[in-house]
Amino acid sequence: MAGQPTYERLALAISNSALAQDTAAALRDAHDWVPQEEAEAVVALGGDGFMLQTLHKMLDSGRILPVYGVNRGTMGFLMNKHRPKGALVERVNRSRPVGISPLRMEAINQNGDTRVECALNEVSLLRETRQTAKIEILVDGKTRIEELVADGVLVATPAGSTAYNLSANGPILPLDSQLLALTPISAFRPRRWRGAILPDRAKVTFRINEPSKRPVAAVADQKEVRDVAEVHVEIARDSELTLLFDKGHALDDRIVAEQFVV
């Protein structure tokens, strides 16, 4: 394909699972692998959790490379199918790039300290105790719900819409939809509110009501900030990541297929 990049300097990222380690051993002689700091792209062996770890490390380091995932885990939604007899390097160079912009979470705790984290799947707010959380929800500075009484609430990207968001009965979003899902978690009041679909240019703010009595934690994928008072969430447009998928197995195709699973 015209304009298709060719990746010659490839690095291996390997999860600690025995399956990933065995696969890596079989691939050692298949290519002249280089350290990640010298690579043009990365081959990640593991599951979805390991893929998220790999991408988060790139965001933290500031050196972002395309990543081709090989499923050596359980679900493998973000990964390509493992083919033991296939020429892996050729598959990488025939793959289709898919750009994903993460969410940026700015969480301010009850002491006024601020922490910034990125999330590829979702930012979720969760009650810390047996008492329900009480959360004010603002979109672009305008209050949309004065008080959500619930176990929590989340904002999901299209790539993350089939993860926790779907388990919370949120909508599945096509990858190119330029939308975000705002989904309550076990809402008590307003009982009939099922969430909202927002343009991905929206900035969502959560303010915790009664934070001392009803403490809430904010979680960006796997990174948690406890006892938050206010949380701001928006797309991090300066941190786009690239996943590489085999043709016919791209992430947007999987998102469509997931809507027909019964």
Domain CATH code at residue 97: 3.40.50.10330
Q: Which of 165, 43, 152 is nearest to 103 (CA)?
A: 165
Tell me: the pLDDT tens digits for 31-48? Answer: 899 999 999 999 999 998
Binding site, by residue number, is 48-49, 121-122, 151, 159, 162-167
Q: State the Cα–Cα distance between residues 69 and 91, nearest whole angstrom.
A: 11
Residues 6+ apart with CB under 8 A from 248: none
At residue 4, the 3 state secondary structure works out as coil
Structural element, H or E, at residue 168: none
In contact, 204 and 234? CB cutoff 8 Å: yes
Helices (H) and strands (E) in the chain, counts: 5, 16
Contact 98, 175 (CB under 8 A): yes
Q: How far is CA 65 from CA 4, 44, 83, 157, 248, in A?
A: 15, 12, 23, 20, 22
pLDDT at residue 35, as a whole number: 94
Q: What is the pLDDT of residue 248?
A: 73
Give me the pLDDT at residue 119, please. 96
Do residues 158 and 182 share a domain?
A: yes
**Chain position carrying tokens 């206010």:** 230
In this structure, the answer to whether residues 147 and 225 fall within a common structural domain is yes
Residue 42 in domain: yes
* pLDDT given at position 222: 85
> Residue 1's pLDDT is what?
44
Q: What stretches in the chain show pLDDT beneath 70?
A: 1-4, 85-86, 249-252, 262
3 located within any domain:
no
User: Average model confidence (pLDDT) for the chain?
Assistant: 92
Annotated binding site for NAD(+): 48-49, 121-122, 151, 159, 162-167
In angstroms, the CA 61 to CA 212 distance is 35
Are residue 68 and residue 138 in the same domain, yes or no?
no
Q: Which domain holds residue 205?
A: 103-235
Q: Are residues 58 and 161 in the same domain?
A: no
Residue keyed to tokens 């690239």: 242
Structure tokens, 221: 């994928």
Number of domains in the chain: 2
* DSSP for residue 77: T
Residue numbers annotated as active site: 48
